[in-house]
Each structure stands twice: as structure tokens, then as C-alpha cells.
């Protein structure tokens, strides 16, 4: 027998030498939840996401410092406002919870860390949907100007990247046009181009207080059985001005990440979502999984599928313990 693939696996040094996919801190983005109802350095643990917290504005700024010190290059902000209404007015308030956090982080850290801000309505609307609602219907075109206002308010606060996650048709175009018209042509758009109507979002909706008060999001988020549709959505977002695209969730949609990588020449990201996090944390707490090995394998698989970057609640843990 002349060909023995096992020769390349016989010890760790050889395995490390020929490994095709590697994971580094530079691949990671850490989410931060900022709660306007919290004061000082107060933080509150999220019940369904052990070791994940909502922070006050001051606490979020301090957390960003800790993340930067670990060598993680970026954070993504999600806001929980004091006030919610039908038009998400708190989302584009110049003194809103995310806007103040962006300014505080940039004043403290400058370019030491990239600040991404999720751009959506669901955390800020009284009904919990990602768009304007009329007679029980989520209106696409009426939502677009509000998304543009949110993105512009983030840009004015100093954000590096805006990340529309609403899944309204045409939102990348109106956001890009607004940014360009107001002199923010260097602000990047990371579009949640293929965001599926997944059952893995439950813990996030607790964390961000963003569960819909009626119905569900299947009329705007993607059908879980579709893959060709993802290519259409991604192509449209790139054409409209997206600089980076995101697949959400990641673990159950590795095929979509690979499809995107094979078909588009832009940075591709995967979002390892709250349900993925909660499952592993629960199983490891019960001793059913080796937590460190499983986390590393999940993140490496997302990278192997083709992701250039990964949003993950394990970013800090991985940077401290695994990388």
C-alpha cells in the first residue's frame, strides 16, 4: 500500500502543519447588549444565556475595553430602550442608548476596536416586529425611511459599520444612499442578507426584549428550506451597496455560507446565534459535552464552511481559553 492518508495524522505537529482551516481572534465579533434601564456599571445576566449580560451604557463601554484588551477586533451593539412605540422612535434618537454607547466607546478607544451597530426596529417597537405595522401587516416600504434614519444616527455617532438585520426589501439601497448623501461614504454596511426564520433565536429575544407581540416573522425572514433564494438576497444586497454580508444562523446553515463563499467576492460572515450558545452551555453544565472542544469545533466549522468572520457569544471565552 503506497498511499496512506493516516501518515498526515500520526501526531499533533503534523496535523497542525497541514491543517487547512485555522481560527484566530481576528475572526471574532463579540455582541454586547446595552440596556437603557440600567445605571452606573450595573449588569444583568440573561437567564437563557449563562455568562451573557445586559450592560448599562457605562458598563458596555467598559466591556468594550475588556474585549479590545483580549485582541478581539470588533463588537456588535444591540440596544434595549426605556421607551418603545409603534414607529421605533428611540432607535434613531441622537441620544439613544446605542448612539451614546457608540460615542463613549469611540471616545475611550478610538480605532482600537471596530464598532458595529445592529440596525433594526424590533427592540424599539411596542409590537416587537422589525417593520412598521398596519392592520396586522408588516409594511416594507414604510419601514425603509426609518431604517435609513437609524443608520444615519449611528454614523453621526461614530459607528464603523451598520448592520441592517430587518430583512426588508431594498433597505441596503436606502441606507447606502442616506449615508452617501450625508457625507458618511466610508461607513460600511454589513447586511444580514440571508437571515432565516429560525427557531434558534429564542434566547436572543429574551436578551433584547424583541419577541413579536403577535404572529411571527416568516413574512420577511427567509424560509428555512430555501438555499437558492439566499443567493438572490445576497446578490441584491451587494448590488445595492453592501460591503459585507452575513448568514444567520450559522451552524444549521453552513451550506448557505459555502454557497455564498463560492458565488460572491465579498467578505462573508456567520452568526453563531443564541440558541446554539444555549444548547452547548446547557449540555456542558450537565456534563454531556466537553465545552471547550465543542465550542472550538463549532467555530472552526463555521470558518471551514467559508466564513471570513464570526459573530459569537463565545468570542471572549474563545479568546481567553481556546486561541
Catalytic: 94? no
119 annotated as belonging to a binding site for a ligand? no
Q: Closest Cα to residue 216, out of 201, 231, 194?
A: 201
Q: Of the residues 84, 106, 149, 248, which is catalytic?
A: 248
d(CA 267, CA 311): 13
Pairing of strands 268-272, 244-248: parallel
Catalytic: 248? yes
pLDDT digits (tens, 9 = 90+) for 216-269: 677 788 999 999 999 999 999 999 999 999 999 999 999 999 999 999 999 999
122 annotated as belonging to a binding site for a ligand? yes
Give the global pTM: 0.93
Q: Of the residues 195, 261, 285, 293, which is catalytic?
A: 195
157 annotated as belonging to a binding site for a ligand? no
Dig out the grid coordinates for 259 from the structure: 454557497
Dig out the grid coordinates for 275 from the structure: 440558541
Contacts of 14 (CB under 8 A, 6+ apart): 7, 8
176 annotated as belonging to a binding site for a ligand? no
pLDDT digits (tens, 9 = 90+) for 10-61: 999 999 999 999 999 999 999 999 999 998 888 999 988 999 999 999 999 9
pLDDT grade for 86, boundaries at 50, 70 and 90: confident
Amino acid at each position: 500500500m503506497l498511499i496512506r492518508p493516516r501518515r498526515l495524522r500520526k501526531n499533533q505537529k503534523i496535523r497542525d502543519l497541514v491543517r487547512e482551516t485555522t481560527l484566530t481572534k481576528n475572526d471574532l465579533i463579540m455582541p454586547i447588549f446595552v440596556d437603557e434601564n440600567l445605571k452606573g456599571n450595573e449588569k444583568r445576566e440573561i437567564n437563557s444565556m449563562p455568562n451573557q449580560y445586559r450592560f448599562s451604557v457605562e458598563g458596555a463601554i467598559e466591556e468594550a475595553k475588556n474585549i479590545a484588551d483580549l485582541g478581539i477586533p470588533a463588537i456588535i451593539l444591540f440596544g434595549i430602550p426605556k421607551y418603545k412605540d409603534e414607529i421605533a422612535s428611540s432607535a434613531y434618537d441622537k441620544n439613544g442608548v446605542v448612539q451614546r454607547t457608540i460615542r463613549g466607546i469611540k471616545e475611550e478607544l478610538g480605532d482600537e476596536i471596530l464598532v458595529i451597530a445592529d440596525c433594526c426596529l424590533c427592540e424599539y417597537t411596542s409590537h416587537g416586529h422589525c417593520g412598521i405595522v398596519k392592520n396586522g401587516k408588516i409594511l416594507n416600504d414604510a419601514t425603509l425611511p426609518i431604517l435609513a434614519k437609524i443608520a444615519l444616527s449611528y454614523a453621526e455617532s461614530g459607528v464603523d459599520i451598520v448592520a441592517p438585520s430587518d430583512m426588508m426589501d431594498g433597505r441596503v439601497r436606502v441606507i447606502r444612499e442616506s449615508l452617501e448623501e450625508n457625507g458618511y461614504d466610508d461607513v460600511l454596511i454589513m447586511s444580514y442578507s440571508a437571515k432565516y426564520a429560525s427557531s434558534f433565536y429564542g434566547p436572543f429575544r429574551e436578551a433584547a426584549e424583541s419577541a413579536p407581540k403577535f404572529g411571527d416573522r416568516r413574512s420577511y425572514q427567509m424560509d428555512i428550506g430555501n438555499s437558492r433564494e439566499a443567493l438572490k438576497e445576497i446578490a441584491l444586497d451587494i448590488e445595492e451597496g453592501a460591503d459585507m454580508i452575513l448568514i444567520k444562523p450559522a451552524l444549521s446553515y453552513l451550506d448557505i455560507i459555502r454557497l455564498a463563499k463560492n458565488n460572491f467576492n465579498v467578505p462573508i460572515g456567520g452568526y453563531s446565534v443564541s440558541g446554539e450558545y444555549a444548547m452547548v452551555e446547557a449540555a456542558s453544565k450537565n456534563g454531556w459535552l466537553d465545552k471547550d472542544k465543542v465550542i472550538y469545533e463549532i467555530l472552526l466549522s463555521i470558518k471551514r464552511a467559508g466564513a471570513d468572520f464570526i459573530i459569537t457569544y463565545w468570542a471572549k471565552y474563545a479568546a481567553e481559553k481556546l486561541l
